[in-house]
Structure 1
């Protein structure tokens, strides 16, 4: 049950990330068309695209880890025998867990600082900064969970096959 909820959350975040990519495309096209027609694009249009880039990246990243969609080079792992390759892959995944855990911790500190100070992003409109920075600890925390699956689970992050595989 908990696994299904977690997986639904992950795939839901990836879906929202994809929708944000569509929004960014629409907002850029709208801005360009408005400029070509001699109109001033809405200030919120550009700002929402900027926010969308942040949220799109953060919300889609945990799903990418699960699907092994992040860029990594298999040159070394392809040259190693199965045993050392498995150990190296798990060590790399453990390092990723450590980095994501540190970034989660620092992200929580950043969000708490934004809340304590009452910080706002004031470009197109007043937007509480913590609503932007909350994406960091949330996303990096989920990425730590996903990378830990490659440390402790059956599946490895690295296939041991060099080249492009689609």
Structure 2
């Protein structure tokens, strides 16, 4: 089981690294757009649409890695008010709810993905984008996040143990 979660961790890290490249490309596009406008040239026609899609990918692809490195925001006032055994029960309940939500949203996005593949639908803006490419990062992000939450549920690590956080390790 550890090997499986390690592989999920490596895939999550790879997706997060890909997003760094996407964000860098967005920065280059925005700077280029501003410079071209200030020099009285036409801006890059597809830039806004590409940036929108890049931001969509940037929201969903690093999500599993953020779960792994405990990078999500959480509120623990209720947890702190409970005694030790109650804290552990609440943690497991939170993990189970997160797994359920991730799997439900994976199912919903994957159904939209399959429908877009089946119909050959396109999102039409300044360039045509196959709709399945819009639903792919959503499905992938939620699916891998469900595994990361499962790692907390069945493993020894806790989302709330920030003191022992190793942000680079798998």
TM-score (norm 2): 0.87
Q: 1:72 aligns to what?
A: 74
Cα shift at 1:36: 1.7
Q: 2:83 aligns to what?
A: 81
Q: 1:141 aligns to what?
A: 143
Structure-2 separation of matches of 1:4 and 1:150: 13
Of 43, 66, 70, the match for 2:45: 43
Q: 1:60 aligns to what?
A: 62
| CA distances 1:78-101 after superposition (whole Å, capped 9, x unpaired) | 222221111111101110000000
Tell me which moved more, 41-50 or 94-103: 41-50
Structure-2 separation of matches of 1:90 and 1:26: 43
Cα shift at 1:3: 4.8
Q: 2:14 aligns to what?
A: 12
CA contact (8 A) 1:10 1:63 kept: yes
| CA distances 1:104-128 after superposition (whole Å, capped 9, x unpaired) | 1111110111112211122122221
Of 31, 55, 67, the match for 1:29: 31
Instruction: Call closer, same or farther: CA 1:45–1:91 in 2, change over 3 Å.
Output: same
Unaligned runs of 5+ in 1: 162-166
| CA distances 1:116-157 after superposition (whole Å, capped 9, x unpaired) | 221112212222110121112111110101011111111112
Cα shift at 1:159: 3.6
Structure-2 separation of matches of 1:5 and 1:97: 18
Of 76, 94, 115, the match for 1:113: 115
CA contact (8 A) 2:9 2:65 kept: no
Number of residue-to-residue matches in the alignment = 161
Q: 1:126 aligns to what?
A: 128
